[in-house]
């Protein structure tokens, strides 16, 4: 289980950092991170980091794909984590 928690911590930290980077690039009109890439980060375990990035940086908050998909991915991930921790207790 420690491996799972380490993976989730790393993914969410990376997702939050990428959201901050993309917001900075948006302000400077620089090269941006593709929305598909941000949603992919959320899908592979970084939903909390993307959601925190949306709140902290006020970024992608008007994009319906983020407003609905990121919380849905979080709920799915929370269910899977709950299920895995019950299936494989530490």
pLDDT at 51: 98
pTM over 0.75: yes
pLDDT of 10 strictly over 80 = yes
pLDDT of 21 strictly over 90 = yes
What are 38-56's pLDDT values in tens digits?
999 999 999 999 999 999 9
pLDDT at 11: 98
Which residue range(s) make up the domain with 81?
A: 2-87
> Which tokens hold the place of 76?
């799915």
Closest CA to 17 of 55, 44, 50: 50
pLDDT at 1: 83
pLDDT of 90 strictly over 80 = no
Number of domains in the chain: 1
């Amino acid at each position: 289980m420690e491996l799972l928690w380490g993976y989730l911590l790393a993914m969410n930290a990376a997702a939050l950092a990428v959201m901050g980077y993309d917001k900075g690039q948006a302000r400077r009109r620089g090269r941006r991170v593709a929305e598909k890439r941000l949603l992919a980060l959320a899908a592979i375990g970084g939903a909390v980091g993307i959601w925190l990035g949306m709140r902290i940086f006020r970024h992608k908050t008007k994009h319906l794909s983020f407003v609905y998909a990121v919380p849905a991915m979080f709920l799915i991930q929370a269910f899977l984590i709950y299920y895995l921790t019950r299936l494989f207790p530490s």
